[in-house]
Structure 1
Amino acid sequence: MMATVKRSYPVGSTLALIIPIVVALSWSCLVGYEGLSGQDAHDYYHIANAWKAWWKGGGVRPVMIEHPHGYPITGALLGTLFGSSLIGLRLLSALSMLAIAFLLRGYFKNPDGAAADINTFVLTAVLLSPFLLRYALMVMSDVPAMALVVGTYICTVRWLQGSLGLGFLATFLLLLSLGFRLATVPLLAPMVLALVHGPLKARRERWMIFTLLTAAAGLFVFMTMGGSGGAFVDGPLADWSPMNLFSRELHSDDGTLVYPFPNIVYVLCLFVHPGFIPLGILLIPFVRLTDFAKVPARLALAAVLCYIIFIAGLPFQNDRVLLLAQPFVVVLYYPAFLRAMHWARLRMFPIRWVSGSLIAMQAALFSRAMMPFFEQARLERELASVVSEAHARIVYTHGMGAAFVTYCPEVVVIELWYERLKMFERGALVVVNPEDLKGQWKDEPPSWNWEGLQAQGVEVVQERPDGWLVARVR
């Protein structure tokens, strides 16, 4: 990106980069948050436990249905050191965030040799990014996948710049990324092209990489056709449509969702929304076309553009999915940040005061971003307690199925989402949010099944202020 200047980092500045994730983890533990909130988090936890049980000779080997198993397998392996898959999964997410930060810190160059500027940028743009820090606390594959993609990008750039041998490492990390998160495909596409093109003096290595990538692509196609990888083909690709780019009302297997802005506008939030990169809107005036003149910047820009176009064509808006491209926006903004710092110093700006204010603002934004997840986790545990105390053998639910599998292992959980059920067992519990079923899930299996339950007859056990209803089938 820029001329290389040798630099060293004081131990104190390195420790400062670790503080945010340590404080955030400590805070989450103090409030009783275990990183489990939402369907996907519980699913990853279940997969990790299933692998652990299989290694010990119990149960059957897990197969991929929706999520790749790279994250739960690695988390389960790490968990063997601590006696808990949950701890292993959470540590993997947290350590992956640190990996992103230190990879980018090592990648960035400063012509003035000021290591402090690089540290400040990595701290504010990566480690205190509210959404990124939030998902680093969760049992989710996103942050580990991001770390692998960032590693792929840096190795690819170094290989293109002449560091022979790193092409193989880039290829390995690229394939590993897919084993953690299939949604990384659009981000990785420009890197595949770069690896296949390669430097002229690495012709033999380039052909070997091409052969390896071709074999991997063939295996991927075979898996998707065979069903074990069908989650990508039958899910995101099946739902993708260019019409979704300009739509506010979107229809998918998540029901009907209406948003304030069309998808094509929403994905641009990646560049300016304070949840992704609080510095973004401040740095835009310092961006120059020359920032994109060199191959590394163009590669990062191509990755971002491929990804946001893909995301904009999907029938939903989700900050977790959009977040995967955030490190590449950080890369693109780095020259603008150096320009902004130079501008501020020329005008004797109180940089430390501004940096402190920005850090405080980001901490507040992070706290706000975490609250809905804390509330969701609390809700899941409270409803699970009601189910356990009712001594139900079967529970019908929509939206709480994975949580009940975690917290009520003795109960048979039947999700109302999959299909229209013809009959319901008497005495079973029902846990639903009727208002959600009337709106988002109108004319879908969850609302049909709730209507069927009402027609058969239900007795209300608990009606909560938050809209959730616990009832028993008559």
Structure 2
Amino acid sequence: MRKTKRALKLQKLTPSFYENLTLFGIPLLFVFLLKIAGFDGLYGQDSYEYLRYTIAIQDYIVGGEHPGHYFWPVLYPTLGSGLSFIMDSAFALQLISCLTFSIASLYVLKTIRLLYSNSRVTFLYVYIFVLLSPFLLKMSLIVMSDALALVFIVLSFYFFFKSYYKKTSLAPVFIFATCALMTRYASLFVTFPILIYTLYLVINRRQFQQLFIAILLSFIVAIPFLIFQWAALFEASSNYFLKVWSVSNYFKSSYTTEDGTQHYLFPNLLHTFYLFFHPGFLCIGFFLSAITLRDYKTRITFHQTILILCSALYILFLAGIPFQNPRILGLVFPLVLIWFFPAFQKLMNMAMVKAFFTPLKMACIGLQVAFFTMTFHHIFSRTLIEKEIATMITPYQGKTLYSFDVDMAMQGRGLDFKFKNMYTARYYDFKEQDLILFDPARHKVQWKDKNPMLNWEFIKENYVLEVLETHPEGWKLYQIQ
């Protein structure tokens, strides 16, 4: 039987086996190659906190104590705790990041094919600028909730546009937006406009049954949060950085907060435009931005307006917070890429680009991989250093250890100390034989007149210290004599 035109069209919109294999295979390949090289996805204090709470939830499931306080939404560690019954907890969390990033890439591809023509460069665009985007690819390799939040945001927009143009169910929009919120609170600033418009569509189409289904399934998604964090139900609104949010921060590049004193190269508002120009996101961002601005009149379609409105709302929110982190900007980057696709099509149709298509394609791939290597080098090195420090101090277990910065890593790697964090409190009663793991040169600027340096200066002035171990990167293990 001959295929209908509709079947042929759907076939074109559906990713092929080769495309799926590429989107899922490359991140998995990176994970396993890095694992062989000694990288396990654990990097910095946040990832160890995700790991700690994942293990705490797993213990609670099998009859242990309630996992207790947690600063972030709990969907990521909850999913990780489920997988932890069949594999190592850290690897479970890393695998979630890897697979959800691949799914996000897949649905960016499906969204572009839904909104624009399925040209010969559609998959190439997603392959080079989503899958190999340095900052996004980094998300797929570390124990962080970024990739999970990213996939829920992408799914929310895909089903929103699909419902708008094809009159399909509206329920997935609410459900995936709830999943995003239960993964990262800040995602609400990305999805809020489409949630409002989806609610309008529900009323306009009288699809109240879908709304009921969405509410029911969204409640189910929120159950882990209600179980584990009911006491902190309104804690997100009391977040320190929300309290100090200000429009004046748009124009500042230096801040003194509870995270110490930090200086940046550009003011916050300019920093948020890294999304459009920074090679860590997009190596040809300048060209796509120039084409888009020149043809701005053709960008006033419904979906283009929604994409830029949601991106702008999130950008303006981030610019008011007194810190800068490209990783957090990444949540909205897929929307920017979808918005940029017509500009990429136009770029590919230029005579010069057509004449040198293959070398330019290889150059873009090379640049993306090079920038990824540069941005990931710090993370990879930090993980290896944390593992080396853990090995260095292992013989001294069983004592009280005062530390900062790497203390979460030492706990996460299972060392048996009575840990005292030099950030959370001032200490005055140190005992003989107590240990201090610290690098004052690393923290003397950012943490001047803050607990970590105040504690260190008090120890140095009032106690005799013996250096037991020294790491080449500056950390030293001291013992009070």
Same fold per superposition (TM over 0.5): yes
Q: Distance in 2 between matches of 1:416 and 1:423?
A: 13
CA contact 1:429–1:471 (8 Å) conserved in 2: yes
Residue in 2 that maps onto 1:292 = 299
Of the candidates 213, 225, 246, which is equivalent to residue 241 of structure 1?
A: 246
Distance change in 2, residues 1:207/1:73 (3 Å): closer
Of the candidates 272, 280, 294, which is equivalent to residue 275 of structure 1?
A: 280
Q: CA deviation at 1:255?
A: 0.2
Q: Which segment drifts farther, 247-256 or 138-147? A: 247-256
Q: Distance in 2 between matches of 1:428 and 1:448?
A: 18
Q: Distance in 1 between matches of 2:29 and 2:182?
A: 30
Residue in 2 that maps onto 1:116 = 120
Residue in 2 that maps onto 1:159 = 163
Q: Is the partner of 1:399 in helix, strand or coil?
A: coil
1:184 equivalent to 2:190? Answer no
Q: Distance in 2 between matches of 1:186 and 1:210?
A: 23
Q: Is the partner of 1:450 in helix, strand or coil?
A: helix
CA contact 1:182–1:232 (8 Å) conserved in 2: no
Question: For residue 47 of structure 2, what is the amino acid of its counterpart?
Answer: A
Q: Distance in 2 between matches of 1:310 and 1:425?
A: 46
What is the aligned length?
Answer: 465
Q: CA deviation at 1:362?
A: 1.1
Of the candidates 313, 323, 326, which is equivalent to residue 319 of structure 1?
A: 326
Q: Distance in 2 between matches of 1:70 and 1:408?
A: 24
Residue in 1 that maps onto 2:28 = 22
Q: Distance in 2 between matches of 1:441 and 1:375?
A: 23
CA contact 1:250–1:258 (8 Å) conserved in 2: yes
Q: Is the partner of 2:121 in helix, strand or coil?
A: helix
Q: Is the partner of 1:116 in helix, strand or coil?
A: coil
Residue in 2 that maps onto 1:446 = 452
Question: For residue 195 of structure 1, what is the amino acid of its counterpart?
Answer: T
Question: Which whole-Å deviations, capped at 9, do the CAs of 1:263-301 have from their partners, x for residues lacking one?
Answer: 111111111111112231221232121353122221111
Q: CA deviation at 1:135?
A: 1.6
Matches within 5 A, 1:32-431: 32-58=38-64, 60-81=65-86, 83-109=87-113, 114-165=118-169, 167-198=170-201, 201-205=204-208, 208=211, 212=215, 226-287=231-292, 288-344=295-351, 348-431=354-437
Question: Which whole-Å deviations, capped at 9, do the CAs of 1:21-48 have from their partners, x for residues lacking one?
Answer: 1332132112100000100111111111
Output the aligned Cα RMSD. 2.8
Q: Structure 2 regions of 5+ residues with no counterpart?
A: 1-8
Q: Is the partner of 1:35 in helix, strand or coil?
A: coil
Q: CA deviation at 1:8?
A: 5.7
Q: CA deviation at 1:309?
A: 1.0
Matches within 5 A, 1:453-472: 453-457=459-463, 458-472=465-479
Q: CA deviation at 1:439?
A: 0.8
Q: Is the partner of 1:161 in helix, strand or coil?
A: helix
Q: CA deviation at 1:422?
A: 2.5
CA contact 1:44–1:72 (8 Å) conserved in 2: yes
Q: Is the partner of 2:306 in helix, strand or coil?
A: helix
Q: Distance in 1 between matches of 2:208 and 2:109?
A: 28
Q: Distance in 2 between matches of 1:98 and 1:111?
A: 20
Question: Which whole-Å deviations, capped at 9, do the CAs of 1:327-348 have from their partners, x for residues lacking one?
Answer: 1111111111111112247x64
Q: Is the partner of 2:206 in helix, strand or coil?
A: helix
Q: Distance in 2 between matches of 1:57 and 1:7?
A: 47
Q: CA deviation at 1:110?
A: 8.1
Q: Distance in 1 between matches of 2:300 and 2:213?
A: 27
Q: Which segment drifts farther, 269-278 or 449-458? A: 449-458
CA contact 1:5–1:110 (8 Å) conserved in 2: no
Question: For residue 126 of structure 2, what is the amino acid of its counterpart?
Answer: V
CA contact 1:388–1:408 (8 Å) conserved in 2: no
Question: For residue 144 of structure 1, what is the amino acid of its counterpart?
Answer: L
Q: Distance in 1 between matches of 2:69 and 2:129?
A: 34
Indicate the percent of aligned positions where both proteins have the same amino acid. 25
Question: For residue 417 of structure 1, what is the amino acid of its counterpart?
Answer: Y
Question: For residue 175 of structure 2, what is the amino acid of its counterpart?
Answer: F
Question: Which whole-Å deviations, capped at 9, do the CAs of 1:392-420 have from their partners, x for residues lacking one?
Answer: 41110110121011124421111111121
Question: Which whole-Å deviations, capped at 9, do the CAs of 1:185-232 have from their partners, x for residues lacking one?
Answer: 21122122212222664234399479949x989x999x9995344145
Q: Structure 1 regions of 5+ residues with no counterpart?
A: none
Q: Distance in 2 between matches of 1:79 and 1:115?
A: 42
Q: Is the partner of 2:355 in helix, strand or coil?
A: coil
Q: Which segment drifts farther, 35-44 or 359-368? A: 359-368
Q: Distance in 2 between matches of 1:291 and 1:79?
A: 49
Distance change in 2, residues 1:34/1:229 (3 Å): farther
Q: CA deviation at 1:155?
A: 1.3
Question: Which whole-Å deviations, capped at 9, do the CAs of 1:298-345 have from their partners, x for residues lacking one?
Answer: 111111111111111111111111111111111111111111112247
Q: CA deviation at 1:12?
A: 2.9
Q: CA deviation at 1:149?
A: 0.8
Q: Distance in 2 between matches of 1:434 and 1:282?
A: 44
Distance change in 2, residues 1:434/1:442 (3 Å): same
CA contact 1:404–1:413 (8 Å) conserved in 2: no
Q: Distance in 2 between matches of 1:6 and 1:438?
A: 58
Q: Which segment drifts farther, 353-362 or 130-139? A: 353-362
Question: For residue 297 of structure 1, what is the amino acid of its counterpart?
Answer: Q
Q: Distance in 2 between matches of 1:183 and 1:425?
A: 43
Q: Distance in 2 between matches of 1:224 and 1:237?
A: 19
Q: Distance in 1 between matches of 2:62 and 2:451?
A: 38
Q: CA deviation at 1:137?
A: 0.2
Compute the TM-score of the two structures, normalised by the length of structure 2: 0.89
Distance change in 2, residues 1:375/1:226 (3 Å): same
Distance change in 2, residues 1:270/1:379 (3 Å): same
1:473 equivalent to 2:480? Answer yes
Q: CA deviation at 1:80?
A: 2.4
Q: CA deviation at 1:233?
A: 2.5
Distance change in 2, residues 1:387/1:18 (3 Å): same
Q: CA deviation at 1:236?
A: 3.0
